Amino acid sequence: MWASYLERAAEIAGGRVTGGIAIDTRRVDLPVDRRVTQLRGLAPNFDPEHCERHTPENGWRVDDVVQPLPPEPPGPPVEGGSWEIARRLMRGYEFADPSIVRASYDPDEPLEGRIMLLELRFHGLRFHGGVRVSRVFDEERSRDGRTARVWGWSYQTLEGHLEMGQMDWEVWKWLDSGEVEFRIHSYSRGAPDRNPLVRFGFRLFGRREQVAFMQSTLERMRGLTETALQEGTGEPVRKTAEELTARASRGTSGAHDRLADYLEGDQEPKTSRAPGP
């Protein structure tokens, strides 16, 4: 009976029985979360054309945070080095702590223009909001007479999101010294909400959760990059991701597994990411 069950399981999974109870299976691509496709026609819920107006004086929160990563020799980014690993972590939103924020998106969609459904988690509550990747950049920037190679991307909040604003995720390498940095720049404010309970809750806890998310992201980028450099990808990265999860939460193990597989495979897995349980 057990053998028959295993044979049926292999058939459903698209695999085959190879002898005894050893079974080879293959991953079947999951359909993209339909909620993601419903976001495609939405516009930003703020005016991104006048970012100079998004200042504290006008009621916006502006954040600029920097996390040093393991340095490299001076010059362009090193193959397999800190800058490259950080870049790979950033491409699939894998740096995000799944106990705080989870993302669902179509990995076949190009990064620039990609629609993502973010699920914000707080003490058993879940809030969903759509964002669109508005820009991807790979360029050299000069600051105070120094030049850095910068790769990153930005997303903008869409109609229906609890917040309004933009977040920029960047990895910098200073060419003169070899210093590598992960940077977050953002401007945001609460979006108008007709539900007074949601509006009150966001005012009470929103900023605290935002700061917790950014702090967790900085720690994860540092820890995951160091682990990949020192111990390699795969299981060491999965273990580090689990250790750097801020809160106990169901369903985070799958996110850790995807992160480890992603870094080891050097390409985005062909599975849609869903917020999950």
Given a cut of 90, whether residue 121 has pLDDT beyond it is no
Predicted structure pTM score? 0.78
State the pLDDT at residue 182: 97
Domains of the chain, CATH where assigned: 1-30 (no CATH), 31-265 (3.30.530.20)
What does the CA dihedral 189, 195, 200, 205 come to, rounded to 10 degrees? -60
| 136 confidence band (pLDDT: 50, 70, 90) | very high
Tell me what percent of the residues of the chain surpass a pLDDT of 90.
39
Q: Where is pLDDT greater, at 273 or 45?
A: 45
Given a cut of 60, whether residue 127 has pLDDT beyond it is yes
Cβ of 130: how many Cβ atoms within 10 Å? 24
What is the pLDDT averaged over residues 110-134?
A: 87
190-219: per-residue pLDDT in tens? 888 766 666 666 665 667 777 888 888 999
